[in-house]
Amino acid sequence: MLRQEQNDLVTQTGRGTPMGRLFRSYWTPVLLADELPKNDCPPVRVKVLSESLIAFRDSEGRYGLIDEFCPHRRASMWFGRNEQHGLRCAYHGWKFDVTGRCVDIPSEPESSGVAARIKMKSYPLVLRGGVLWTYMGPPELKPPLPEWEFAMVPDDQRFVSKRIQECNWLQAMEGGIDSSHVSFLHQGNINSDPLFKGAKGNQYNLSDARPVFEVVESAGGLYIGARRNAENGNYYWRITQFVLPSFTMIAPRGGHSGHGHFWIPIDDEHCMAWSYDYHPARKLTAIEISAMKDGKGVHGKLIPGTFIPVANKDNNYLMDREAQLRGESYSGIDGIAIQDGSLQESMGGVVDRTQENLVATDRGIIMARHRLMQAATELVESGKTPPGVDVLHQRVRSAAIILAPDLPLKAGAKEALTATEGKAPATV
């Protein structure tokens, strides 16, 4: 449970809010690489952290992320002409480069010197790991580029997707670090989804619905261990990573690829749910990629040409009560991503956390909120660099492992939770 002012603090990310300032300390994913597929391609609207922006790729392949509105008379740059090293406003032809600098005002005498005085809001936009990242904080504090493991592997070892979710980012993210609901909401998928099925660990998940949670503070956030009974008195641990502000990782199952999410605020009542799969030690197969594109695993099936799920609020998520009765789907909704999204959206634009009743299995969520509020407060009050900015904090993995009962999680999982180039993940 949070008090109303805590809920406001932790959910609001517009410019000038404490949590907005926290988010602006990191590199933030905003576009898939193929949304800007070639030089001088059409510009793309981006709404992130409640700011309306335009992304484009110039004649030399440089990326830019600038204010949506032309500084002249505020027409949208989305209508702009992307040509010859800059984006021209379609209204009066004012032209801007990827840094937001005004490089031409064709209606004014060149001697006027106006162009030199005009500078648009702009943010860096950088390609890494199939994703275009921006940094929206003070330039002098810009951290090194992100080093998430999924982004550092070769392109053929990775698949990334995104979908719009009609709720605040935090209630979406809380689903990402909530290992408990897997045994319920997703129980029909564990043994049937092509990207999950066949793993031995699935049996532990399904046979023990009452895991014991151990949540450990990490440098960048938390890792959340869910302990279930395995054979011979040993424990089966599934360990989920949370790195501030909203990066989460889920352990792979058996030989499958591993997963992660970024939960990025669009505005305070919408977020972009980013999902990725990757394998540190092998290419993804054509069958795997085809399944991911089809909305299997942690990905959502989308309306073509959009980032809106086929099953969405307007159609009651294509709820199938018969499938629910037959047990194929615990909630009657098809697909892991939409199962999560539908319930998170059902809580409302921003869930009323003053009305919650949290229990032992929610310990990860409780601690994540605490770390977020603390980091935001320390940033605002003393300028302290928040956890997760340091690339070392990003070089982590989730894992599923069997440990002897007397081995503490922290010691036993240490290696498995560290990203190591080319090394297969610890899975069961």
In this structure, which long-range contacts are made by residues 203-210, counting pairs with CB atoms below 8 Å and at least 24 apart in sequence?
Answer: 204/228, 204/229, 204/230, 204/236, 204/428, 205/238, 208/183, 209/183, 209/184
What is the distance of C-alpha 104 from the center of its chain? 37
- Member of 15, 34, 84, 108 binding a second copy (CB under 8 A): 108
Alpha helices in 233-285 (DSSP H): none
Binding of a second copy at residue 377 (CB under 8 A)?
A: no
Binding of a second copy at residue 126 (CB under 8 A)?
A: no
Binding of a second copy at residue 4 (CB under 8 A)?
A: no
Beta carbon nearer to a second copy, 77 or 426:
77
Beta carbon nearer to a second copy, 200 or 313:
313
Kindly write down the DSSP assignment for every residue of 362-392, as one continuous string.
GHHHHHHHHHHHHHHHHHHHH-PPPTT-SHH
Binding of a second copy at residue 215 (CB under 8 A)?
A: no
Alpha helices in 118-200 (DSSP H): 149-152, 169-176, 187-190
Structure tokens at 179: 């290992």
Residues listed for the chain = 428
Q: What is the CA radius of gyration of the chain?
A: 22
Q: How far is the CB of 71 from a second copy (least distance, A)?
A: 5
239: Cβ contacts below 8 Å, ≥ 6 apart: 223, 224, 225, 226, 251, 398, 399, 400, 401, 409, 413, 416, 417
CA distances to 256, 281, 418, 421 from 424, rounded to whole Å, are: 10, 5, 11, 9
Beta carbon nearer to a second copy, 26 or 235:
235
Beta carbon nearer to a second copy, 321 or 414:
321
Binding of a second copy at residue 74 (CB under 8 A)?
A: yes
Beta carbon nearer to a second copy, 286 or 359:
359
- Member of 4, 59, 84, 112 binding a second copy (CB under 8 A): 112
Q: CA-based angle 178:263:304, to the nearest 5?
A: 110
Please count the residues of this chain forming the interface with a second copy, following the rule CB under 8 A.
57
Binding of a second copy at residue 72 (CB under 8 A)?
A: yes
Rounded distance between C-alpha atoms, residue 208 and residue 230, angstroms: 10
* Residue 105 near residue 114 (C-beta atoms within 8 A): yes
Give, as ranges, the residues between 344 and 373 that touch a second copy (CB under 8 A): 344, 346-348, 351-353, 355-362
Rounded distance between C-alpha atoms, residue 165 and residue 225, angstroms: 27
Q: Which amino acid appears at position 117 of this protein?
A: R
Binding of a second copy at residue 384 (CB under 8 A)?
A: no
Q: How far is the CB of 379 from a second copy (least distance, A)?
A: 27
Structure tokens at 374: 């603390």
Rounded distance between C-alpha atoms, residue 425 and residue 26, angstroms: 26
Binding of a second copy at residue 269 (CB under 8 A)?
A: no
Beta carbon nearer to a second copy, 53 or 419:
53
Specify the pairing of strand 131-135 against strand 258-267. Answer: unpaired
Binding of a second copy at residue 307 (CB under 8 A)?
A: no
Binding of a second copy at residue 114 (CB under 8 A)?
A: yes
Beta carbon nearer to a second copy, 6 or 76:
76
Binding of a second copy at residue 124 (CB under 8 A)?
A: no
- Member of 330, 374, 378, 380 binding a second copy (CB under 8 A): 330
Find, among 243, 226, 245, the residue nearest to 170 by Cα. Answer: 245
What is the distance of C-alpha 213 from the center of its chain? 23
Binding of a second copy at residue 105 (CB under 8 A)?
A: yes
Structure tokens at 82: 């992307």
Binding of a second copy at residue 2 (CB under 8 A)?
A: no
Q: How far is the CB of 147 from a second copy (least distance, A)?
A: 33
Q: Looking at 22-30, 123-131, 331-339, 417-425, which segment touches a second copy (CB under 8 A)?
A: 331-339
* Residue 213 near residue 156 (C-beta atoms within 8 A): no
Beta carbon nearer to a second copy, 15 or 423:
15
- Member of 59, 79, 192, 408 binding a second copy (CB under 8 A): 79
Binding of a second copy at residue 326 (CB under 8 A)?
A: no
Q: How far is the CB of 364 from a second copy (least distance, A)?
A: 13
Residues at the interface with a second copy (CB under 8 A): 42, 69, 71-76, 78-79, 81, 90-93, 105-109, 112, 114, 118, 174, 180-181, 183-185, 209-211, 319, 321, 324, 330-333, 339, 342-344, 346-348, 351-353, 355-362
